[in-house]
A = this chain, B = another copy of it.
Amino acid sequence: MVDKVLIREVGTREGFQFEPPGIPTARKVELIDALAGTGVRRIQTVSFVSPRSIPQMSDAEDVIAGLHPNRDVAYQALWFNVRGLRRAQDFGFLTMVGSVSLSASSKFAARNWGSPDRALSALNEPLIEEYVRLKLPVAISVAAAFGCNFEGRVDEGTVITLLGDTLTQLDERGLEVIEITLSDTMAWASPQSIKRLCDAVRTRFPDLPVSLHLHDTRGLGIANAMAALEVGIDRFDSAIAGLGGCPYAGHRGAAGNIATEDFVLLCHELGIETGIDPVRLLAAAALAEEVVGHPGSSRSLRGGHLTDTGVLNIDLPQDTGA
Protein backbone atom coordinates (compact mmCIF):
# COMPACT_ATOMS: atom_id res chain seq x y z
CA MET A 1 0.00 0.00 0.00
CA VAL A 2 1.28 3.46 -0.87
CA ASP A 3 1.73 6.12 1.82
CA LYS A 4 0.82 9.15 -0.26
CA VAL A 5 -1.00 9.90 -3.48
CA LEU A 6 -0.92 12.63 -6.09
CA ILE A 7 -4.43 13.60 -7.13
CA ARG A 8 -5.30 15.47 -10.32
CA GLU A 9 -8.60 17.28 -10.12
CA VAL A 10 -10.45 17.04 -13.46
CA GLY A 11 -13.92 18.31 -12.54
CA THR A 12 -13.69 21.65 -14.30
CA ARG A 13 -12.46 20.03 -17.50
CA GLU A 14 -14.18 16.67 -17.77
CA GLY A 15 -17.03 17.64 -15.47
CA PHE A 16 -17.97 20.90 -17.13
CA GLN A 17 -17.85 19.46 -20.64
CA PHE A 18 -20.53 17.01 -19.51
CA GLU A 19 -22.85 19.81 -18.37
CA PRO A 20 -25.08 21.90 -20.62
CA PRO A 21 -23.21 24.96 -21.97
CA GLY A 22 -23.69 28.24 -20.17
CA ILE A 23 -21.84 28.04 -16.86
CA PRO A 24 -20.61 31.60 -16.33
CA THR A 25 -16.85 32.05 -16.74
CA ALA A 26 -16.60 33.79 -13.37
CA ARG A 27 -18.06 30.76 -11.62
CA LYS A 28 -15.60 28.43 -13.33
CA VAL A 29 -12.78 30.66 -12.13
CA GLU A 30 -14.22 30.74 -8.62
CA LEU A 31 -14.34 26.94 -8.46
CA ILE A 32 -10.81 26.43 -9.83
CA ASP A 33 -9.48 28.98 -7.34
CA ALA A 34 -11.34 27.19 -4.54
CA LEU A 35 -9.92 23.85 -5.64
CA ALA A 36 -6.42 25.32 -5.72
CA GLY A 37 -6.94 26.30 -2.07
CA THR A 38 -7.73 22.75 -0.94
CA GLY A 39 -4.16 21.51 -1.18
CA VAL A 40 -4.67 19.54 -4.40
CA ARG A 41 -1.42 19.59 -6.37
CA ARG A 42 -2.66 19.20 -9.95
CA ILE A 43 -5.72 20.64 -11.65
CA GLN A 44 -6.75 19.88 -15.21
CA THR A 45 -8.46 23.21 -15.70
CA VAL A 46 -9.91 23.34 -19.24
CA SER A 47 -9.51 21.85 -22.68
CA PHE A 48 -8.58 23.97 -25.66
CA VAL A 49 -10.86 22.38 -28.23
CA SER A 50 -13.17 23.54 -30.97
CA PRO A 51 -16.06 25.56 -29.54
CA ARG A 52 -18.23 23.94 -32.19
CA SER A 53 -17.50 20.44 -30.83
CA ILE A 54 -17.51 21.37 -27.16
CA PRO A 55 -19.15 24.77 -26.61
CA GLN A 56 -18.73 24.31 -22.85
CA MET A 57 -15.01 25.08 -23.33
CA SER A 58 -15.42 28.10 -25.60
CA ASP A 59 -14.35 30.43 -22.78
CA ALA A 60 -11.18 28.44 -21.97
CA GLU A 61 -8.88 31.46 -22.44
CA ASP A 62 -11.04 33.66 -20.23
CA VAL A 63 -11.15 31.02 -17.52
CA ILE A 64 -7.37 30.68 -17.45
CA ALA A 65 -6.85 34.43 -17.65
CA GLY A 66 -9.17 34.90 -14.67
CA LEU A 67 -7.36 32.53 -12.29
CA HIS A 68 -5.32 33.59 -9.28
CA PRO A 69 -2.46 31.11 -9.63
CA ASN A 70 -1.37 29.28 -6.51
CA ARG A 71 2.31 28.40 -6.76
CA ASP A 72 1.81 25.02 -5.11
CA VAL A 73 -0.51 23.89 -7.88
CA ALA A 74 0.34 22.56 -11.33
CA TYR A 75 -2.38 23.96 -13.59
CA GLN A 76 -2.79 21.77 -16.66
CA ALA A 77 -4.89 21.93 -19.79
CA LEU A 78 -5.86 19.45 -22.47
CA TRP A 79 -5.77 19.70 -26.24
CA PHE A 80 -6.00 17.33 -29.19
CA ASN A 81 -4.38 19.34 -31.98
CA VAL A 82 -1.77 22.03 -32.65
CA ARG A 83 -4.36 24.77 -32.60
CA GLY A 84 -5.29 23.81 -29.04
CA LEU A 85 -1.64 23.58 -28.01
CA ARG A 86 -0.99 27.10 -29.33
CA ARG A 87 -3.92 28.46 -27.32
CA ALA A 88 -2.50 26.89 -24.16
CA GLN A 89 0.95 28.33 -24.87
CA ASP A 90 -0.42 31.82 -24.37
CA PHE A 91 -0.51 31.21 -20.63
CA GLY A 92 2.89 31.07 -19.00
CA PHE A 93 1.76 29.60 -15.70
CA LEU A 94 0.21 26.51 -17.24
CA THR A 95 2.28 23.37 -16.73
CA MET A 96 2.93 22.32 -20.31
CA VAL A 97 2.98 18.59 -20.80
CA GLY A 98 2.45 17.18 -24.26
CA SER A 99 -0.64 15.03 -24.23
CA VAL A 100 -0.76 11.92 -26.40
CA SER A 101 -4.20 10.33 -26.45
CA LEU A 102 -4.59 6.68 -27.39
CA SER A 103 -7.59 4.40 -27.24
CA ALA A 104 -7.55 0.70 -26.51
CA SER A 105 -10.78 0.45 -28.52
CA SER A 106 -10.97 1.50 -32.15
CA LYS A 107 -14.74 1.86 -32.00
CA PHE A 108 -14.41 4.28 -29.11
CA ALA A 109 -11.66 6.16 -30.98
CA ALA A 110 -13.97 6.52 -33.95
CA ARG A 111 -16.76 7.96 -31.80
CA ASN A 112 -14.55 10.16 -29.69
CA TRP A 113 -12.07 11.46 -32.23
CA GLY A 114 -13.67 10.63 -35.57
CA SER A 115 -10.91 8.16 -36.47
CA PRO A 116 -10.70 4.45 -35.68
CA ASP A 117 -6.93 4.63 -35.09
CA ARG A 118 -6.16 3.42 -31.62
CA ALA A 119 -2.47 4.26 -31.78
CA LEU A 120 -0.44 7.26 -32.89
CA SER A 121 -1.52 8.09 -36.41
CA ALA A 122 -1.07 10.69 -39.09
CA LEU A 123 -3.58 12.79 -37.17
CA ASN A 124 -1.15 13.09 -34.25
CA GLU A 125 1.88 13.86 -36.37
CA PRO A 126 1.65 17.67 -36.37
CA LEU A 127 1.23 17.62 -32.60
CA ILE A 128 4.21 15.30 -32.13
CA GLU A 129 6.33 17.60 -34.30
CA GLU A 130 5.42 20.50 -32.04
CA TYR A 131 6.31 18.53 -28.92
CA VAL A 132 9.70 17.75 -30.45
CA ARG A 133 10.24 21.39 -31.43
CA LEU A 134 9.20 22.64 -27.97
CA LYS A 135 11.07 19.81 -26.20
CA LEU A 136 7.91 19.13 -24.17
CA PRO A 137 7.73 16.16 -21.85
CA VAL A 138 4.89 13.88 -22.87
CA ALA A 139 2.09 12.15 -20.93
CA ILE A 140 0.27 9.27 -22.58
CA SER A 141 -3.37 8.62 -21.87
CA VAL A 142 -5.06 5.36 -22.86
CA ALA A 143 -8.85 5.62 -23.15
CA ALA A 144 -11.04 2.52 -22.74
CA ALA A 145 -8.09 0.70 -21.19
CA PHE A 146 -10.31 -1.88 -19.47
CA GLY A 147 -13.23 -2.19 -21.87
CA CYS A 148 -15.56 -0.39 -24.19
CA ASN A 149 -19.34 -0.15 -24.46
CA PHE A 150 -19.00 -0.63 -28.21
CA GLU A 151 -16.22 -3.20 -28.37
CA GLY A 152 -16.46 -5.14 -25.10
CA ARG A 153 -13.68 -6.19 -22.75
CA VAL A 154 -10.10 -5.12 -23.49
CA ASP A 155 -7.33 -7.50 -22.56
CA GLU A 156 -4.05 -6.44 -21.00
CA GLY A 157 -2.07 -7.53 -24.05
CA THR A 158 -3.81 -4.96 -26.24
CA VAL A 159 -2.84 -2.15 -23.89
CA ILE A 160 0.73 -3.37 -23.46
CA THR A 161 1.25 -3.62 -27.24
CA LEU A 162 -0.29 -0.21 -27.82
CA LEU A 163 1.90 1.38 -25.16
CA GLY A 164 5.03 -0.43 -26.33
CA ASP A 165 4.59 0.71 -29.93
CA THR A 166 3.85 4.27 -28.87
CA LEU A 167 6.78 4.50 -26.48
CA THR A 168 9.10 3.24 -29.22
CA GLN A 169 7.84 5.83 -31.67
CA LEU A 170 8.08 8.66 -29.17
CA ASP A 171 11.54 7.54 -28.11
CA GLU A 172 12.69 7.54 -31.73
CA ARG A 173 11.62 11.17 -31.89
CA GLY A 174 13.61 11.95 -28.75
CA LEU A 175 10.55 12.67 -26.64
CA GLU A 176 10.53 11.93 -22.93
CA VAL A 177 7.40 10.23 -21.58
CA ILE A 178 6.78 11.17 -17.95
CA GLU A 179 3.48 9.45 -17.19
CA ILE A 180 0.99 6.88 -18.46
CA THR A 181 -2.66 7.33 -17.55
CA LEU A 182 -4.91 4.30 -17.85
CA SER A 183 -8.48 5.49 -18.26
CA ASP A 184 -11.49 3.39 -17.41
CA THR A 185 -13.54 5.66 -19.65
CA MET A 186 -16.66 3.51 -19.72
CA ALA A 187 -16.33 1.79 -16.34
CA TRP A 188 -15.40 -1.74 -17.38
CA ALA A 189 -12.74 -2.22 -14.69
CA SER A 190 -13.08 -4.43 -11.63
CA PRO A 191 -10.71 -4.58 -8.67
CA GLN A 192 -9.14 -7.67 -10.25
CA SER A 193 -8.66 -6.22 -13.74
CA ILE A 194 -7.23 -3.06 -12.18
CA LYS A 195 -4.59 -5.14 -10.42
CA ARG A 196 -3.88 -7.22 -13.53
CA LEU A 197 -3.42 -4.27 -15.90
CA CYS A 198 -1.48 -2.11 -13.45
CA ASP A 199 0.85 -5.00 -12.69
CA ALA A 200 1.31 -5.78 -16.39
CA VAL A 201 2.08 -2.17 -17.33
CA ARG A 202 4.50 -1.64 -14.50
CA THR A 203 6.26 -4.93 -15.11
CA ARG A 204 6.73 -4.07 -18.77
CA PHE A 205 7.53 -0.35 -18.24
CA PRO A 206 9.00 -0.21 -14.73
CA ASP A 207 10.40 3.31 -15.02
CA LEU A 208 7.15 5.02 -15.98
CA PRO A 209 4.75 6.39 -13.38
CA VAL A 210 1.23 4.99 -13.91
CA SER A 211 -1.85 7.04 -13.14
CA LEU A 212 -5.49 5.91 -13.12
CA HIS A 213 -8.52 7.77 -14.38
CA LEU A 214 -11.57 5.98 -12.95
CA HIS A 215 -15.26 6.39 -13.55
CA ASP A 216 -17.94 5.33 -11.08
CA THR A 217 -20.54 4.62 -13.77
CA ARG A 218 -21.29 1.15 -12.44
CA GLY A 219 -20.52 1.77 -8.77
CA LEU A 220 -17.09 0.12 -8.63
CA GLY A 221 -14.99 3.31 -8.86
CA ILE A 222 -13.81 3.55 -5.26
CA ALA A 223 -13.33 -0.23 -4.96
CA ASN A 224 -11.17 0.00 -8.09
CA ALA A 225 -9.18 2.87 -6.60
CA MET A 226 -8.67 0.77 -3.47
CA ALA A 227 -7.36 -2.12 -5.58
CA ALA A 228 -4.93 0.26 -7.29
CA LEU A 229 -3.67 1.63 -3.97
CA GLU A 230 -3.05 -1.94 -2.83
CA VAL A 231 -0.76 -2.62 -5.79
CA GLY A 232 1.12 0.64 -5.30
CA ILE A 233 -0.49 3.07 -7.75
CA ASP A 234 -0.09 6.56 -6.34
CA ARG A 235 -1.46 8.88 -9.05
CA PHE A 236 -5.17 9.34 -9.66
CA ASP A 237 -7.58 11.57 -11.51
CA SER A 238 -10.83 12.45 -9.76
CA ALA A 239 -13.54 15.06 -10.09
CA ILE A 240 -14.95 17.33 -7.45
CA ALA A 241 -18.54 16.38 -6.51
CA GLY A 242 -18.25 13.34 -8.79
CA LEU A 243 -18.92 15.46 -11.86
CA GLY A 244 -18.05 14.19 -15.29
CA GLY A 245 -18.51 11.21 -17.50
CA CYS A 246 -17.74 10.69 -21.13
CA PRO A 247 -20.04 12.36 -23.66
CA TYR A 248 -19.23 9.67 -26.21
CA ALA A 249 -19.74 6.66 -23.91
CA GLY A 250 -23.51 6.37 -24.26
CA HIS A 251 -23.92 6.84 -20.52
CA ARG A 252 -25.77 10.10 -20.12
CA GLY A 253 -27.45 10.20 -16.72
CA ALA A 254 -24.95 7.88 -15.09
CA ALA A 255 -22.45 8.65 -12.34
CA GLY A 256 -19.26 10.41 -13.42
CA ASN A 257 -15.64 10.28 -12.37
CA ILE A 258 -14.86 9.09 -8.89
CA ALA A 259 -15.57 12.01 -6.58
CA THR A 260 -12.42 13.68 -5.28
CA GLU A 261 -13.89 14.01 -1.79
CA ASP A 262 -14.88 10.30 -1.65
CA PHE A 263 -11.43 9.24 -2.80
CA VAL A 264 -9.73 11.60 -0.35
CA LEU A 265 -11.89 10.17 2.45
CA LEU A 266 -10.78 6.66 1.45
CA CYS A 267 -7.12 7.73 1.47
CA HIS A 268 -7.32 9.52 4.80
CA GLU A 269 -9.14 6.57 6.43
CA LEU A 270 -6.31 4.34 5.17
CA GLY A 271 -3.66 6.71 6.52
CA ILE A 272 -2.57 7.75 3.02
CA GLU A 273 -1.46 11.36 2.65
CA THR A 274 -3.15 13.49 -0.01
CA GLY A 275 -2.05 16.97 1.04
CA ILE A 276 -5.71 17.97 0.82
CA ASP A 277 -7.71 19.70 3.57
CA PRO A 278 -11.03 17.86 3.85
CA VAL A 279 -12.90 20.90 5.19
CA ARG A 280 -11.92 23.00 2.19
CA LEU A 281 -12.51 20.08 -0.15
CA LEU A 282 -16.10 19.51 1.01
CA ALA A 283 -16.71 23.25 0.72
CA ALA A 284 -15.36 23.16 -2.85
CA ALA A 285 -17.63 20.19 -3.62
CA ALA A 286 -20.65 22.10 -2.33
CA LEU A 287 -19.57 25.04 -4.52
CA ALA A 288 -19.22 22.73 -7.53
CA GLU A 289 -22.80 21.51 -7.12
CA GLU A 290 -23.96 25.10 -6.80
CA VAL A 291 -22.08 26.06 -9.98
CA VAL A 292 -23.53 23.23 -12.08
CA GLY A 293 -26.94 23.65 -10.48
CA HIS A 294 -27.61 20.04 -9.54
CA PRO A 295 -26.26 17.35 -7.20
CA GLY A 296 -23.22 15.42 -8.41
CA SER A 297 -22.60 11.78 -7.62
CA SER A 298 -20.53 12.40 -4.49
CA ARG A 299 -21.40 10.43 -1.37
CA SER A 300 -19.21 12.01 1.28
CA LEU A 301 -20.41 15.52 0.42
CA ARG A 302 -23.69 14.47 2.02
CA GLY A 303 -22.39 11.87 4.45
CA GLY A 304 -19.47 13.93 5.76
CA HIS A 305 -15.84 12.98 6.28
CA LEU A 306 -14.65 11.39 9.50
CA THR A 307 -12.27 12.71 12.10
CA ASP A 308 -10.90 11.05 15.20
CA THR A 309 -13.56 12.75 17.26
CA GLY A 310 -16.52 12.60 14.96
CA VAL A 311 -18.07 13.51 11.65
CA LEU A 312 -16.80 16.41 9.64
CA ASN A 313 -20.00 17.86 8.31
CA ILE A 314 -19.24 21.47 7.58
CA ASP A 315 -21.86 23.33 5.62
CA LEU A 316 -23.32 20.18 4.13
CA PRO A 317 -25.78 21.20 1.47
CA GLN A 318 -28.62 19.05 2.80
CA ASP A 319 -30.49 18.67 6.05
CA THR A 320 -28.32 16.47 8.23
CA GLY A 321 -30.48 16.68 11.34
CA ALA A 322 -31.77 13.40 12.73
Contacts and interface: CB of A to CB of B under 8 A. Distances in A.
Contact of A322 (B223, B225, B247): B247
B147 A302 contact: no
B318 A219 contact: no
A253 B300 CA distance: 11
Contacts of A248: 322
Contact of A190 (B150, B152, B188, B270): B270
A188 B255 CA distance: 23
B266 A220 contact: yes
A219 B251 contact: no
A interface, by DSSP: helix, strand, loop or mixed?
A: loop
A38 interface: no
A108 B318 CA distance: 21
A94 B300 CA distance: 37
A259 interface: yes
A227 interface: yes
A219 B299 contact: yes
A269 interface: yes
Contacts of A191: 226, 266, 270
Interface string A149-187: 110110000000000000000000000000000000001
A147 B306 CA distance: 10
A252 B218 contact: no
Interface stretch (A73-81, A127-135, A308-316): A308-316
Could you say which of A111, A225, A255, A259 has the most chain B C-beta atoms within 10 Å of its C-beta?
A: A255
Nearest to A224: B223
A322 B218 contact: no
A109 to B, nearest CB: 14
A111 B322 contact: yes
Contacts of A320: 250-254
